[in-house]
Structure 1
């Protein structure tokens, strides 16, 4: 390959619903050097809140329409969804047909940005392309051993694996005795200045009991919001007045609404749903809390630090690689009592809160995006030499 020839890279994604993996992919599409790489994004479904953020200079391969482009007639839309599902199943079984109809060119590198895309990329009929997998998940929380083992085995088949945190790779070795010699740890880029800029887009002040904790994440049982709500109720009952709002949507929304009603905290534990720009809301809060049972390397931590907000987070996944406990945030175990004590400390110890705020001043140096881009570029260039 001559030095002037661009490396052709294909990123595969299921869709562009709001989430960490799609945000990482869009950031790479914007920032990987176009003089080195010719970048293409292939979407199973052309749908999601982030579709509008696809860079204009990126080629997009759309396998199937998104729900947004379908008929508004319920009967017709149901028929369209059924046909779409059938076509995707056929493409899964016969990837050569998919590539013949939709791709029609060869790529040097094909990337699976998350486990949802592993089989898609490994099943590519382009046998000459190098396959790179990206894994961001802490397997220790997953009780479905069949699913975990399947993902572990799939990762062995990639030409190179990128893990989103040291803990993400280490826990597989600790629990399963499996190592990945052809791999590296590269943290996801955290858009510090972008979060600051977006936080000024509008005034998100709204009636809320002060002080106010914010939180953000997908509403899933392992994100711990049911536990956070119990802690919230205990703090109120102890005379520590405050409110909490959570940004995010998901399968637990109705359960959390019912729990809030049962506990009588509907006016102080607010569920704001998905927000395309959550940062003005975070900026309007006093503190941030992340109560997850499992995480890998959540971008939110660095972005919240960039806004100078003191953070309480569970000590899971790659989070201790992001937060220095007692310096620029507070780490607790996923335990109701520990979370209660940490939140009570924020509500009662102003000097400690100011100390944590001061610790966030080093966030730009801590999450240097240029260093991460260089690491990714090195992987993409070196994998072709192997």
Structure 2
């Protein structure tokens, strides 16, 4: 009998983010008999921990929730984590000796781009190395990713990217065909059947007002997602007499700032911040419009979820959106700005009939983002590398 491939996967935590959700969905659909997997978390925390299959060995550097504030009582723990994790990054042989018990892996897998150097600096020289990139590294949030920094990713045996835009960027950096062949585009594995079945579960936390349209937006609450400009547009439209509600579902380190902005704009009665939900699908189903307000993305998987539920979509023109919405055939793509969001949402409120053709096309559209296909593609890389 052929021995199982030994795989190390690294990610920061299993908090409520898109990359984390995609990783866990992938792990849940892997055959247990083919692989022996160690999942190493920097921080043992997150909503998706409970979803990791029991046969996967979960290891960690630290335990506890992420610390996003600088409250005096939190500083010692925060400092300890930073020093401890920094030491293990600088001296990887200590990590492999004491945490990983000198285990020899066939494959080492960085589940997000932030672990590029940790895997490249592994003392196991014989292992094959795989990178999974979920973001457009050319955006301002990732300003350190110069051409030279992006070139370092070619130290991997395979670089999996999630959109055509990112694929083309990496291919343009390749110096030869061998390097070009390292780049492979694989759509994120998402479970359509799970989305549709969970959407039927009755809503507990929010009462929809069917007399006015509701816009919903879902994501981790931090600046990338643009919830600040979404609230400002919401306020502007209300001031113009265009009544509607805004529902934001998600949590994150910027939650209190966005909540305070909501109060400052005096829209607490029309905008609701629901916090994290492990099942946002009934809310998407009940809402009239899905709005993506992101400043940048890699491939916004939440749009796939909205498309699965046949929603009328307004999305900023960030990486992956044009590809997903077929250059505007399946939803309204707006300029990546506050003004773009304003014009798109105003059109939805003043000319709602203009969005009916998107819904009609989505009803007959065959999704290319197939769970089985994506898992099969990634598995074939694990098997052949």
Which of 354, 366, 369 is residue 368 of structure 2 equivalent to? 366
Are residue 195 (structure 1) and residue 192 (structure 2) matched?
Answer: no
Select which of 99, 104, 109 maps to 1:102: 99
Per the alignment, residue 31 of structure 1 pairs with 29
Q: Report if the CA contact (8 A) 1:46-1:63 is conserved.
A: yes
Higher mean C-alpha displacement, 186-195 vs 334-343: 334-343
Q: Give the whole-Å Cα distance in 2 for the aligned partners of 1:26 and 1:242.
A: 35
Q: Which residue of 2 aligns with 1:236?
A: 238
Within 2, Cα distance between the matches of 1:318 and 1:160? Answer: 21
Alignment of 1:266-281 (within 5 A): 266-281=268-283
User: What RMSD in Å do the two structures reach over aligned CA positions?
Assistant: 2.6
TM-score by length of 2: 0.88
Residue in 2 aligned with 1:71? none
Aligned positions, number = 374
Give the drift of 1:150: 6.1
In 1, the alpha carbon distance for the partners of 2:148 and 2:268 equals: 41
Deviation, 1:343, is 1.8
5+ residue gaps, structure 1: 69-73
Q: Aligned with 1:146: secondary structure? A: coil
**24-33 or 56-65: bigger deviation:** 56-65
Deviation of 1:326 after TM superposition, in Å, equals 4.6
Q: Is it true that 1:166 corresponds to 2:176 in the alignment?
A: no
Q: Following superposition of structure 1 onto structure 2, how do residues 200-239 of structure 1 map, counting pairs within 5 Å?
A: 200-204=200-204, 205-206=206-207, 208=209, 210-239=212-241
Aligned to 2:343: 341
- Give a deviation string over 1:114-160, Cα, whole Å, max 9, x none: 11221221121111110111112112322664344564133021111
Alignment of 1:1-386 (within 5 A): 4-67=2-65, 82-104=79-101, 105-142=103-140, 145-149=143-147, 151-172=149-170, 180-181=179-180, 182-204=182-204, 205-206=206-207, 208=209, 210-362=212-364, 365-383=367-385
**What is the CA–CA distance in structure 2 between the aligned matches of 1:87 and 1:233, rounded to whole Å?**
45
Higher alpha-carbon deviation: 153-162 or 286-295: 153-162
SS for the counterpart of 1:184 is strand
| 1:328 and 1:358 in contact (8 A); partners too | no
TM-score normalised by structure 1 residue count: 0.88
Task: Return the alpha-carbon distance in structure 2 between the equivalents of residues 88 and 150 of structure 1.
Answer: 25
1:135, 1:162 within 8 Å by CA — same for their partners in 2?
yes
Q: Alignment partner of 1:28: what SS?
A: helix
**5+ residue gaps in structure 2?**
67-71
Deviation at 1:363, TM superposition (A): 5.4
Sort the Cα spacing of 1:262 and 1:62 in 2 relative to 1 into closer, same or farther, 3 A. Answer: closer
Deviations, residues 341-379 of structure 1 (Å, cap 9, x unaligned): 322232233433332222222455332222212221222
